[in-house]
Amino acid sequence: MHWKRIVGTVLAASLIAGCSSAATPNKGDKKPEERPAQKVTLNLSTPDPDSSSITAAAQQYAKIVGEKSKGAVEVKVYPNGSLYGGDPSAAVKQLGAGSLDMLLLSTSLYANFEPRFTAISIPYLYDSTDQLLEYLNKDPGTTLLGSVDRLGIKGLGLWTRSFRQMTNSKKPITGPQDLKGLRFRVPNNPLWVEFFKAAGAAPVPMAFGEVYNALQLKTIDGQENPIDVPMSAKFYEVQKYLTISNHMADAWVLGINAKKFAGLPRDVQQVLTEAAAETQAWKVNYDNEQDGKAIDFLKGKQMQVNTLTPEQQKAFADLAKTLYPKFAELVKDQDFFAKTLKFVGKGN
Residue 143: give its domain's CATH number: 3.40.190.170
The residues near 240 (Cβ < 8 Å, ≥ 6 apart) are 168, 169, 170, 302, 303, 304
The total of other beta-carbon atoms located within 10 Å of residue 70's CB is 13
Same domain assignment for residues 47 and 140:
yes
Please state, in angstroms and rounded to a whole number, the distance separating the CA atoms of residues 338 and 330. 13
Same domain assignment for residues 244 and 254:
no
Same domain assignment for residues 203 and 331:
yes
The residues near 252 (Cβ < 8 Å, ≥ 6 apart) are 54, 57, 104, 105, 106, 107, 158, 159, 160, 161
Which of 274, 292, 310 is the endpoint of a domain? 292
Instruction: Tell me whether residue 45 is in a domain.
Output: yes
Q: What does the pLDDT read at residue 348?
A: 66
Same domain assignment for residues 44 and 119:
yes
Same domain assignment for residues 223 and 124:
no
Instruction: Tell me whether residue 98 is in a domain.
Output: yes
How many structural domains is the chain composed of?
Answer: 2
In order along its 348 residues, the chain shows pLDDT tens digits of 444 444 444 433 433 333 333 334 444 444 434 333 579 999 999 999 898 999 999 999 999 999 999 999 999 999 999 999 989 999 999 999 999 999 999 999 999 999 999 999 999 999 999 999 999 999 999 999 999 999 999 999 999 999 999 999 999 999 999 999 999 999 988 999 999 999 999 999 998 889 999 999 999 999 999 999 999 999 999 999 999 999 999 999 999 999 999 999 999 999 999 999 999 999 999 999 999 999 999 999 999 999 999 999 999 999 999 999 999 999 999 999 999 999 999 976
Instruction: Tell me, rounded to whole angstroms, the distance of Cα 246 from its chain centroid.
Output: 17
The residues near 89 (Cβ < 8 Å, ≥ 6 apart) are 109, 112, 188
Please state, in angstroms and rounded to a whole number, the distance separating the CA atoms of residues 207 and 91. 12
The residues near 83 (Cβ < 8 Å, ≥ 6 apart) are 43, 45, 91, 100
CB 138 within 8 A of CB 132: no
Same domain assignment for residues 240 and 137:
no
Instruction: Tell me whether residue 75 is in a domain.
Output: yes
**Domain limits for position 222:** 164-249+293-343
Please state, in angstroms and rounded to a whole number, the distance separating the CA atoms of residues 148 and 44. 17
Instruction: Tell me whether residue 288 is in a domain.
Output: yes
Same domain assignment for residues 257 and 245:
no
Q: What does the pLDDT read at residue 217?
A: 98
Same domain assignment for residues 157 and 200:
no
Same domain assignment for residues 332 and 238:
yes
Q: What does the pLDDT read at residue 37?
A: 57
CA-wise closest residue to 107 among 144, 52, 82, 80? 144
CB 90 within 8 A of CB 84: yes
The alpha helices in 217-333, defined as continuous H runs, are: 228-232, 258-262, 266-300, 310-322, 324-331
Please state, in angstroms and rounded to a whole number, the distance separating the CA atoms of residues 326 and 333. 12
Instruction: Tell me whether residue 323 is in a domain.
Output: yes
Instruction: Tell me whether residue 348 is in a domain.
Output: no
Q: What does the pLDDT read at residue 209?
A: 87
The partner residues of 100 in beta bridges, in order of sequence, read: none
Element housing 255 (H / E): strand 251-257
Same domain assignment for residues 245 and 262:
no
Same domain assignment for residues 74 and 38:
yes
Q: What does the pLDDT read at residue 207?
A: 87
Instruction: Tell me whether residue 237 is in a domain.
Output: yes
For the residues of 39-72, what is the DSSP string, one character each? PEEEEEE-SS-TTSHHHHHHHHHHHHHHHHTTTS
Same domain assignment for residues 146 and 216:
no
Instruction: Tell me whether residue 258 is in a domain.
Output: yes
Q: What does the pLDDT read at residue 2?
A: 44
What is the pTM for the complete model shown?
Answer: 0.85
Pairing, β 183-186 against β 241-244:
unpaired
CA-wise closest residue to 126 among 309, 334, 320, 289? 320
